[in-house]
Structure 1
Amino acid sequence: MIPPKYADVIKPVKDLFGKDYPVGFTKLEVKTKSVTGVNFTVNGAQDIKSGAILGELKAKYTDNANGLVITDSWNTKQVVSLQVEAENNLAKGLKLDVLGTSTLDASKYSLSSNIQYKQDNIFSTARFDLLNGPAVTADVTVSRQGVIAGAEIGYDLVNGAVTKTNTTLAYAGPDYVTALQLNDAFGTLSASFYQRVSSQVEAGARATYDLKKGGEAKENNVVAEVGAKYSLDKSANVKAKVNNFGILGLSFTQALRPGVSLTLASLVDTTRFGENAHKLGASLTFEA
């Protein structure tokens, strides 16, 4: 069995606490597909506080016969990008991609390359920033009988310095994931847990302890959070989360009709209930 890539080891936890909470923004997403197989995605978001609007148009073409995916995008910050991906061309389990971005006036640009290799019990990636640095970030996960171990390291080739060090030890069961992580050059210790309790209920918890602060500021050393998702039916679900600082998150998602869904969300500071310290957000998605 192929393990998840390093960034996805605790993906169920990240999705439970991160997805469906578009707080602070009003978002619109439209997805369509042409008869030639090109997928178009239009994203728009307005910052509720500042009124600033950001939009993006993305086109993605997939050539299954040759294992190629070509994606180009343009956004309202005048940044264009082109990504070319090739999978299983040179070897089974090997994926290569090149991503280039540039502003329209060419004042800012970047070029990066990614190598991904996966086989039974191992998943490794390497990302090369060819212009800013150059720098490389590499990670690997290995698994056996549900146990997943992984590590990630970043290295600045110019200065000869390690820029990132993260490690993960996890266990994935049929309906749950639990993990322990040392991140930020062993500066923070994190524990997380996710379980699909039933077909309708998902629950999870996570906590992060700042090892660098130690006993200096005990009240701020730990950030702990619990969350849950309940599916009302096939077309609607509610989510809730709360942390030890009293920040309560609530979310409701409803499929209005096939291909159309609406999400409403809020973050409420329960310690400052009567103040202007709360955030609202909404997201509307069309897919055809």
Structure 2
Amino acid sequence: MSIPAFADISKSANDLLNKDFYHLSAGTIEVKSNTPNNVAFKVTGKSSHEKATGGAIEGKYADKSLGNDATTPNEQTNTTVARKRRPAQFSLSLSRIRVPGPTAFPLEFASHVNQHGLGLLILYRRAGLTLTQTWNTTNALDTKVELADSLAKGLKAETIFSFLPATQKKGVKLNLTFKQSAFHGRAFFDLLKGPTANVDAVIGHEGFLAGASAGYDVQKAAVTGYNAAVGYLSPQYSAAVTATDNLSVFAASYYHKVNSQVEAGAKATWNSKSGNNVGLEVASKYRLDPVSFAKAKINDRGVAAVSYNVLLRPGVTLGLGASFDTQKLDQATHKVGASFTFES
């Protein structure tokens, strides 16, 4: 198995404990569609329990001739997942133009929706190189250049330039990712703010993992934070122990795929700064049949959650969820949510 990034050492247990529980929103609707020229659109709308609503629109172009993207069926969720090249979030791809010439780049124009409003995104791509330019309604200009597997096998370099003309504020960030069969390292540099650096690395051998991360502020000449983790990863089960927040918050997690139908996991957390109490959360997933599954979890505070996911028909998925505070059954602390996903 490939070596995960430091943040993903306990991913299997975290996904089981946190994903596919639909009570977090009162209602969610998601519409996905794919065009014949490999453009995928996704529209999402959510209504919170506080009556607030929000939405997003996303578009992705997959140039399969360059091998930048592939989609494969996900047997557990009855949906498709994008691999290798991640789409720009909250963007809508409008068109693609190839500039003539021997060094031409595929060119995409897109509208970009974020918390500041609607902006413009221009994306140039060729094998190993991605150039993304963004302009939003706050008049912020961002340019991101990505270079993958060109300088060295397994090395990805990403540079992000930002500029606010109104305040003349500038920003430059450099991110590096290096991945080999037994190593996964990342480095994030903010070159103008501080400068600051955050690095993490994971080494692995026959399923055993060990990793650490640290932050450093050059101007203050001080370490801003450090974390560590160890774990074991296999297709059937995984376990991890992490120490975060300067080794003051400890978490132990366990995930077990019992068989093709049953998954189970648990996580215990202890904050050494806040006392001796240990937080515990246990979850399980049961696949009822090839098109539906149910999940349940409960924590040490007595809050329980259940969810049900079913493929009603090809392209239509329904999710139902609820949470209950078992210590306050007579109070209005319970939550119910529903999710609809339409895919073509």
Normalised by the shorter chain, which TM-score bucket?
A: 0.7 to 0.9
Take 1:164 and 1:62, find their aligned partners in 2: how far apart are those partners?
Answer: 38
The one-letter amino acid paired with 1:190 is: A
* Aligned residues of 1:54 and 1:77 also touching (Cα < 8 A): no
Specify whether residues 228 and 93 from structure 1 end up closer, same or farther in structure 2 by C-alpha distance, changes over 3 A only: same
Percent pairwise identity: 37
Q: Which moved more, 1:259-268 or 1:26-35?
A: 26-35
* Aligned residues of 1:122 and 1:143 also touching (Cα < 8 A): yes
* Aligned residues of 1:126 and 1:137 also touching (Cα < 8 A): yes
Query: 1:67-97, CA deviations, whole angstroms, 9 ceiling, x for partnerless residues?
Result: 5956344136516575664432332212233
- Displacement of 1:161: 3.4
Specify whether residues 111 and 43 from structure 1 end up closer, same or farther in structure 2 by C-alpha distance, changes over 3 A only: farther
Take 1:98 and 1:56, find their aligned partners in 2: how far apart are those partners?
Answer: 26
What's the secondary structure of 1:16's corresponding residue?
Answer: helix
Q: What residue number does 2:312 align with?
A: 256
- Displacement of 1:250: 0.6
Take 1:87 and 1:178, find their aligned partners in 2: how far apart are those partners?
Answer: 31
Q: What residue number does 1:10 align with?
A: 10
Are 1:169 and 2:230 counterparts?
Answer: yes
The one-letter amino acid paired with 1:36 is: N
- Displacement of 1:188: 1.0
The one-letter amino acid paired with 1:75 is: N
Q: What residue number does 2:339 align with?
A: 283
What's the secondary structure of 2:15's corresponding residue?
Answer: helix
Take 1:200 and 1:100, find their aligned partners in 2: how far apart are those partners?
Answer: 47
Specify whether residues 158 and 192 from structure 1 end up closer, same or farther in structure 2 by C-alpha distance, changes over 3 A only: same
Q: What residue number does 1:178 align with?
A: 239
Are 1:244 and 2:245 counterparts?
Answer: no
Specify whether residues 43 and 224 from structure 1 end up closer, same or farther in structure 2 by C-alpha distance, changes over 3 A only: same
* Aligned residues of 1:148 and 1:172 also touching (Cα < 8 A): yes
Take 1:131 and 1:60, find their aligned partners in 2: how far apart are those partners?
Answer: 31
Q: What residue number does 1:74 align with?
A: 113
Decide which of 237, 245, 264 is 1:203's aligned counterpart: 264
- Displacement of 1:106: 9.0
Q: What residue number does 2:59 align with?
A: 59
Give 5+ residue unaligned stretches, structure 2: 70-84, 92-111, 122-133, 135-143
Are 1:160 and 2:216 counterparts?
Answer: no
Specify whether residues 36 and 101 from structure 1 end up closer, same or farther in structure 2 by C-alpha distance, changes over 3 A only: farther
The one-letter amino acid paired with 1:3 is: I
What's the secondary structure of 2:7's corresponding residue?
Answer: helix
Decide which of 139, 162, 179 is 1:118's aligned counterpart: 179
Q: Which moved more, 1:58-67 or 1:12-21?
A: 58-67
The one-letter amino acid paired with 2:268 is: A
The one-letter amino acid paired with 2:48 is: D
Specify whether residues 114 and 277 from structure 1 end up closer, same or farther in structure 2 by C-alpha distance, changes over 3 A only: same
Take 1:287 and 1:268, find their aligned partners in 2: how far apart are those partners?
Answer: 31
Residue correspondence of structure 1 range 133-148 to structure 2 within 5 A: 133-148=194-209
- Displacement of 1:182: 0.8
What's the secondary structure of 1:271's corresponding residue?
Answer: coil
What's the secondary structure of 1:272's corresponding residue?
Answer: coil
The one-letter amino acid paired with 1:181 is: T
Query: 1:207-227, CA deviations, whole angstroms, 9 ceiling, x for partnerless residues?
Result: 00111234xxx4xx2100111
What's the secondary structure of 2:301's corresponding residue?
Answer: coil
* Aligned residues of 1:126 and 1:136 also touching (Cα < 8 A): yes
Query: 1:173-229, CA deviations, whole angstroms, 9 ceiling, x for partnerless residues?
Result: 330001111111111111110000010000011100111234xxx4xx210011100
- Displacement of 1:164: 2.8
* Aligned residues of 1:147 and 1:171 also touching (Cα < 8 A): yes
TM-score (norm 2): 0.73
Take 1:32 and 1:97, find their aligned partners in 2: how far apart are those partners?
Answer: 30
Take 1:223 and 1:87, find their aligned partners in 2: how far apart are those partners?
Answer: 41
Larger radius of gyration, structure 1 or 2? 2
Count the aligned residue pairs.
282
